[in-house]
Amino acid sequence: MTIKILDCQGFDYNFPIPKFISDVGFKVNEQKGTVLVMVLWVLALLTLVGGFYAVEARIRRNLGQYAWDALQGRETARSILLFAERKLSPPGTEKEEDEDSLFADGSLYKVNFGGREVGFMLEDENGKLDLNNSSDDQIRNVVRTILGDEELEAADTIVDGILDWKDSDKLVRLNGAEDDVYQDMSPPYYPANGPFRLLEELLLVNGVGHEVFYGPISWLAQDEEDSEVLWQGGLWNLFTIYNKSGEVSKGCAPLPLEEILGNELIDDTTSTREVVCLRVWFGSRIYQVYWNPKSEAEVPEIKHWTEAVALGSKGSRW
């Protein structure tokens, strides 16, 4: 390795550089490159560690908020249950006669808890069709009418599926389903071949999806040219497993059942209220509590309690 030097007269001279000097320069440059790479690695590791702790902190915060919201919602539902137990009107009471009471007719009530608006409604289970005790013709008539003429095949699939689900034999109805259909599901399962024990069990029946079960299915005004939506809901608003008589009470029946069943309804004065369903909307959470208003215990006798997070419009998806 040499170095060139020009003098004042334009002559150039080449002088060799000693080997030990060139080696020192190379080593210095090599050390600088190594330090730069190490610094970059340290920065990358610090970024990864910082990102990991940021994600972990966010997850912990979300879990804490979820647990806090769940606790608030659950205690709010319990408070409303105690309030409803004391303010629930007897069967057959007119709203004009007792404006301060609560009515189990599906009316929506709103209250404030801790600065948050909470909606709730009460439904008398005697105002619904019983999956186990109502007649097959009533169930078929209601499902067909609710889904409309354009969905008759889907309605028959649902009804025959319900009847095959609760009967004890392996015979398949025209549009029904037995083991072979349910074994093709993912994951596979078997039909109960017995009475429904939970209303949500209806979701396992072939043909029943979330859209049909939870809605919203719109019920339009009948016999009018410009029909308007008078009711929205799903099968969970029309069916129950707690109406042991199988007869639907007129005063607390949802509007579609009033118009579909008509003269088959019975008066409230002859009904005995056994179970009331309380539905509470607390933010994005929905609580559904089935309880016995006739219980003499200090704490309401709860038959069944479910809670879930609503996705989309109220009650449309869980």
Q: What is the mean pLDDT of each run of 10 residues along the chain (318 residues)?
A: 53 55 53 77 89 90 90 92 89 78 89 88 92 94 90 93 93 90 93 93 93 86 65 90 88 87 73 85 91 76 87 46
pLDDT at residue number 8: 52
- Residue 86 CA: distances (Å) to CA of 103, 106, 109: 12, 17, 15
CB 255 within 8 A of CB 219: yes
pLDDT at residue number 315: 42
CB 128 within 8 A of CB 256: no
Q: How far apart are CA 38 and CA 44, in angstroms?
A: 10
Within 13 Å, how many C-alpha atoms sit on residue 83's CB side?
18
CB 106 within 8 A of CB 123: yes
pLDDT at residue number 316: 40
Question: How far does Cα 130 stand from its chain's mean position?
Answer: 23
**pTM for the structure as a whole:** 0.75
Which residues are bridge partners to 130 per DSSP? 240
Q: b/e string for 29-38 if b means 16 or more Cβ within 10 A?
A: eeeeeeeeee
Closest CA relative to residue 95, chosen from 85, 107, 83, 86: 107
CB 236 within 8 A of CB 252: no
